[in-house]
């Protein structure tokens, strides 16, 4: 079987529409931590075998950004909050 016929979970997620990505995070994701920066709440979710960060505007309560964190240093801002081993978070 060709690899492009059965993409990994992160690739399948990227291929979803924006609304379907949001639905997938809220239905399948596990909220790990919420942090705050000026003007936004940032929610970190574990979804399948990857992490997704959702930015919510504090003024309008709307999602303004959804991004997959796929670089190791993307998780650095969360290391202070999350003190779990990765094997505890992912299947």
4-60 tens-digit pLDDT: 577 899 999 999 999 999 999 999 999 999 999 999 999 999 998 999 999 999 999
Do the domain assignments include residue 76?
Answer: no
**pTM higher than the cut 0.85:** no
List the CATH number of the domain containing 17: 3.10.450
Torsion of CA 40, 82, 32, 64, to 10 degrees: 20
Per-residue burial over 77-88, b = 16 or more CB atoms within 10 Å of its CB, e = otherwise: ebeeebeeeeee
Encode pLDDT of 57-67 as tens digits: 999 999 999 99
The domain total for the chain is 1
Token reading at 53: 């960060």
């Amino acid at each position: 079987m060709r690899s492009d016929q059965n993409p990994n979970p992160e690739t399948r997620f990227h291929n979803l529409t924006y609304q379907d990505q949001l639905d997938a995070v809220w239905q399948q994701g596990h909220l790990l931590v919420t942090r705050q920066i000026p003007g936004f709440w940032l929610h970190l979710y574990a979804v399948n075998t990857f992490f997704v960060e959702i930015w919510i505007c504090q003024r309008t309560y709307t999602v303004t950004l959804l991004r997959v964190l796929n670089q190791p240093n993307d998780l650095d801002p969360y290391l202070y909050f999350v003190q779990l081993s990765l094997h505890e978070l992912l299947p």
